[in-house]
Structures are given as C-alpha cells and as structure tokens.
Amino acid sequence: MASIQKTQSGYRAFVAKNGIRKSKRFNTKREAKEWAARIEYEIINGKKIAAAMPFGDLLERYARERSPQKRGARWEIIRLEKLRRDKIAAIKLEELSAKHFTEWREKRLGEVAPGSVSREMQLMSSVLNTAVREWQLIPENPLTGVRRPKRPLPRDRLVTAAELDKLAESAGSDLKKATARAFHAFRFACETAMRAGEIVGLTWDRVDLDRRVAKLIHTKNGRPRDVPLSIEAIRLLKELPEMDPIFGLTSRQLDVLWRKVRDKAGVKDLTFHDSRHYAITRLSKKLDVLALARMVGHTDLKMLQVYYNEDAEELAKRLD
C-alpha cells in the first residue's frame, strides 16, 4: 500500500504492492499522492498496460534506456527510430506474432540487402528479449524461430595498384585538406587493418613512434589492443600536419569524403572497409595466424576467413 511522509525538503511517497517497492520525493503532498496512485495502478494492471503498448513504444524505450549504454549508440538509435516509422511499430504487444515479423522480413528484403535485414532483426530481437527478461512486459519473444535471411557471401574486393593511383589523384596531396586526409586514412588502414572508427579516434598520446605501436582503447569488440605499425604506417603518420586526433576527421567526415574521393576517381564497388580485407590478405604473408588475429583484433580465428582473400594463383606460387 502507499504512504506519504513529510520530509525537510517536501514529501516522500512510498509504494509497496505485490512484492514491488518504490519511493520518490516531491515538492507537494498532492504530487506525491498522484504519483503513488499511478504507480499502484501500474503494478496491479501492469500486464494489461504492457499488452496494449504499441511495439513502437517498446522500441522508443529501448533507444532511451539501453542504446546510450553502447558504443554504437548513435547508429542503433537511428535504426530504432527508422523501425518506429514502419507499420509493424503500430501493432500492440499482445497482438505481435511471428507472422508479423515474417511479413516485415519479406517486405524489407525487397528494399535492402539480406545482411541489413538480418541486422535489423537482431536488433529487434534484443529489444524483445529485454522486454521479456528485464522489463517483464511480455511472456516470450515472438521473433524467436523466425528465419533470418541467409548471410551473403563475404566480400572479396581488393583494391588494385591502378585504383590506388586513381584515388590518390582524386584526393590530392595537400594533407592540410580533409579530402586528402580521408584517402591518407585509407592508405593507413591498408597498412594496419584498423577500422575507420579506430583510425579517426587515434590520438598522439596513444602512439609510440619509437616502439612503433598504436594503443587502441575503443574497439569494435570492446577489448583494447596494441597495433604494431610498419615503417610505411609510421611514414604516413609523420606526413600528416600537426593535429589531434591525428587525422583530424570525424567518422561522418571520413565516410562522406571517402565516398567523394572514390566516386570522383571512378572506382566502382570499393568501400573504406575493404582496406581491412586488403591489409589482412597482405599481412597473412608476414604473420602467422595467431599473430595476425592478435594484430587485427579477432578473438575468433574463423573471422580471418571472412577477410582473407588471397587468390589461388598467389597460393600456387607459394607452393614452389
């Protein structure tokens, strides 16, 4: 039951119902009573309230309470906001079923690549699992058992020497300009296998030029790692004008400027992330599997197969 106590700074309301205890301070007794009455109602009728909640409200709560705790918060919140604009977001939780998600999947597959659909399904499943296990709003996850689209084959796109020349001409050589630094970042990625986010976040206090090591604190898997730097990687760093972060670019700037450089150069079907494929394939000739996995930050050796793209002709030469 609810009780209201006078305090030095106002009033504190206490609610104890069905094993749930909550309290909150208010400036007036009226506010305290209204809050206590609302909380009691929500506890008693919690399942009914949750059942009538649109799926979109659940997505909004997750974006507000859970997403900010993650490294990729910005992109996850953007995806959740987009999902809230879909028709499926209007369906009440009590009515939401595997059928709705199957229909959503088929519609979505006509709009984006299977990999994107799979990632969006994974995000929605995380939201629903939180609603089941932590918020206890629904008894089970209706997405469980809904078939995910087949994973597309790993990309095997490697940049060529001729394309690097075109990109260099497109970007220009003046590293005081952000456009040139965007291509410089790509070249650095080809040397180190570092991801775009790791490169733009690199600061001088994390680089030891004498030991030739870059220390990464914020990585995709959340584990810090030290990246060995080749002589060429050191040279690329020393060519940059003095600024901190080292490349003087945000993730957004790098994405936009890289696309601008690539399109102007007329290079087709090449992403910034393809630099990682190029680097790992090249580094595999110098490092053993364990050393390579340590350098690029893979805890699962199977992931190296996704990025390792040496062709059969090159392998044949190594047999002799």
220 is catalytic: yes
Cα distance between residue 279 and residue 158, in whole Å: 9
Say whether pTM exceeds 0.75: no
Q: What pLDDT does residue 89 have?
A: 94
Side-chain half-sphere exposure of 183, counting CA atoms within 13 A: 25
Cα distance between residue 224 and residue 201, in whole Å: 13
With CA atoms as reference, report the closest residue to 229 among 251, 250, 249, 246. Answer: 246
Domain ranges of the chain: 2-44, 55-133, 161-319
Q: Looking at 92, 176, 220, 223, which residue is catalytic?
A: 220
Q: What pLDDT does residue 73 have?
A: 81
21 is catalytic: no
3-class SS letters over 265-286: HCCCCCCCCHHHHHHHHHHCCC
Q: Looking at 181, 184, 187, 195, which residue is catalytic?
A: 195
Cα distance between residue 275 and residue 296, in whole Å: 12
* 178, 196 Cβ separation under 8 angstroms: no
Question: Rounded to the nearest 5°, which phi and psi values hold at 6?
Answer: -80, 135
pLDDT along the chain (320 residues), means of 10: 83 79 87 83 63 88 89 85 94 91 94 89 94 84 90 78 95 94 95 89 92 82 80 94 93 93 93 89 77 68 57 57
Q: Looking at 11, 62, 278, 307, which residue is catalytic?
A: 307
307 is catalytic: yes
What is the assigned CATH class of domain 161-319?
Answer: mainly alpha
Q: Looking at 79, 181, 262, 298, which residue is catalytic?
A: 298
41 is catalytic: no
Burial (CB count <10 Å: 0-12, 13-18, 19+), residue 162: exposed
